[in-house]
């Protein structure tokens, strides 16, 4: 079965928009099984919950709950922004073999590392994802810099 990347990225974008409307960092993610079932969806809630490790991808994993290791086989993580080192590591830890990225122009995370570890990475260059992230970075640079934005040194983009 081939997953509909645009459909599931749109769900991740819904999460990002909800986060933005809550005053948070607009990054959303959706974990989808190989047969197209949404296992978990989430958004960055660092601001809303004061939790510095609740990024979009980790939120989606948390909301998926405790799953058997085979649930991750063939799964895809959809994320509106290129994953940071922590979220890259989470995808590797759970053996998620495919990551679909909405955009990586605002921030280029661990895509090269994912690829080096055999993960398929698809970058959609989605204009909605880019526009929302750029809007947020312009409006709230201080909040962005609390997150991965404060770690821009040494990151290629």
Give pLDDT tens digits for 107-122: 999 999 999 999 999 9
The larger pLDDT score, comparing residue 18 to residue 157, is at: 18
The answer to whether residue 156 is domain-embedded is no
- Identify any residues that bridge with 103 across adjacent strands, giving them in sequence order: 81
The answer to whether residue 154 is domain-embedded is no
Q: What is the CATH number for 134?
A: 3.40.140.10
> Could you tell me which of 13, 7, 42, 4 has the C-alpha nearest to residue 132?
13
The answer to whether residue 50 is domain-embedded is yes
Residue 57 appears among annotated catalytic residues: yes
Question: What is the predicted pLDDT for the residue at 35?
Answer: 96
The answer to whether residue 155 is domain-embedded is no
pLDDT at residue 154 above 90? no
Range of the domain at 32: 5-145
Instruction: Please tell me which residue in 14, 21, 57, 146 is annotated as part of the active site.
Output: 57
The answer to whether residue 85 is domain-embedded is yes
Give pLDDT tens digits for 48-94: 999 989 999 999 999 999 999 999 999 999 999 999 999 999 999 99
Question: What is the predicted pLDDT for the residue at 156?
Answer: 36
Question: What is the predicted pLDDT for the residue at 133?
Answer: 97
Question: What is the predicted pLDDT for the residue at 157?
Answer: 31
- Identify any residues that bridge with 122 across adjacent strands, giving them in sequence order: 100
Give the total number of structural domains in the chain. 1
Question: What is the predicted pLDDT for the residue at 11?
Answer: 98
pLDDT at residue 153 above 50? no
Q: Phi and psi dihedrals of 98, rounded to 5? A: -145, 130
> Could you tell me which of 81, 74, 39 has the C-alpha nearest to residue 60?
39
Question: What is the predicted pLDDT for the residue at 120?
Answer: 98
């Amino acid at each position: 079965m081939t997953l509909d990347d645009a459909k599931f990225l749109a769900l991740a974008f819904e999460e990002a928009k909800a986060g933005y409307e809550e005053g948070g960092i607009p990054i959303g993610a959706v974990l989808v099984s190989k047969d197209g079932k949404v296992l978990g969806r989430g958004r960055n809630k660092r601001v809303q919950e004061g939790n510095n490790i609740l990024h979009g991808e980790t939120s989606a994993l948390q909301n998926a709950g405790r799953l058997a290791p085979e649930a991750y086989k063939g799964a895809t993580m959809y994320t509106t922004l290129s994953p940071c080192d922590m979220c890259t590591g989470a995808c590797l830890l759970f053996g998620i073999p495919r990551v679909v990225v909405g955009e990586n122009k605002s921030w280029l995370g661990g895509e090269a590392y994912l690829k080096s570890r055999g993960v398929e990475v698809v970058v959609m260059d989605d204009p909605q994802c880019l526009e929302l992230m750029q809007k947020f970075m312009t409006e709230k640079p201080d909040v962005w810099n609390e997150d991965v934005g404060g770690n821009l040194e040494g990151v290629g983009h």
